[in-house]
Amino acid sequence: MTRTSPHDPQRAPHATDASQTIVVSYPKSGRTWLRALLGRYLTRRARLPESAMLDTEQVSVAAGLPRLSFTHDGSAMVERTPWREMARGRADYAEKSVILLGRDIRDTVVSAYFQATRRVHVFDGSMPQFIRSEQYGVEKLLAFYAIWLEAQHVPRRFLFVRYEDLHESPRSMLARVLRFAGEKSPDAALVDEAVSHCAFDNLRRMEESGQHREGVLVPGDHSDPESFKVRRGKIGGFRDYLSDEDVAWMERMIAESGLDIGAFQNRE
């Protein structure tokens, strides 16, 4: 991978020091869904109110697990960092257990466009401009994964979870993540209930109703379906928004990068 930055400090910019287990993801890789799944399971396990579902650190500790948190690890759109300036060193994660949540780059960048333009308002151009942007586009996603391919052996333990696998097998994947996070024997009934409760349509209704208004499930504009945090969740949905030319450009960039997601090696 040749697209990573020459700027190479030895400390990750946003490692969460108080947490033992950290879920790392690029924006719009599906972390809200995973966060809700974990939160629902853990609130039921610890007999906490549903209002605590998205307070990951609180519910993980209350359930007797090592403190668990989520981070975008320096890739958050509000930081506006060009891909060439992304930090590469990940020494801060050396004593941590890291779950890296990944998603098809094409779907991620399209979903990120709506986050950037309808929710956090950091970009006002077109989608073709966005996917080619040094601050938000495909090259930044490629750099993010290349950085973690290089750093995957830094954490004490490492698990790569694909959003697509979570869609295909939500119960087995949630149980796997829970075991990695310290739940030795996940309760199958609670896993089933969490998956049912956090189905896409139900999460969408939660966002529409505003029942988690203090958290992340708040639409940018109730009248604009593209401004919802829980927007579509469709695998392969990028084709509904991009021209054949834009898709071909993205796929050429991905191929030329040499990025191999299969090179991630889990250490559970």
Kindly write down the DSSP assignment for every residue of 25-66, as one continuous string: E-TTSSHHHHHHHHHHHHHHHHT--GGGTT-HHHHHHHTTSP
pLDDT bracket for residue 17 (50, 70, 90): low
Residue carrying structure tokens 């593209």: 226
For residue 127, count other CB atoms closer than 10 A to its CB: 18
CA distance 34 to 23: 9
**pLDDT of amino acid 228:** 39
Q: 21-263 domain in CATH 3.40.50.300?
A: yes
Higher-confidence residue: 196 or 238?
196
pTM: 0.84
Alpha carbon separation from 175 to 167, 192, 194, 208 (Å, rounded): 13, 10, 11, 28
Residue 39 half-sphere exposure toward CB, CA atoms < 13 A = 24
CA distance 49 to 212: 12
Question: Could you tell me which of 241, 108, 229, 110 has the C-alpha nearest to residue 162?
Answer: 108
Say yes or no to pLDDT of 225 above 60. Answer: no
Handedness of CA 50, 219, 70, 146 (dihedral sign): positive
Enumerate the domain spans of the chain.
21-263
For residue 78, count other CB atoms closer than 10 A to its CB: 12
pLDDT bracket for residue 193 (50, 70, 90): very high
Mean pLDDT of 194-210: 72
Six token digits for residue 193: 């209930």
Say yes or no to pLDDT of 215 above 70. Answer: no
Mean pLDDT of 68-89: 94
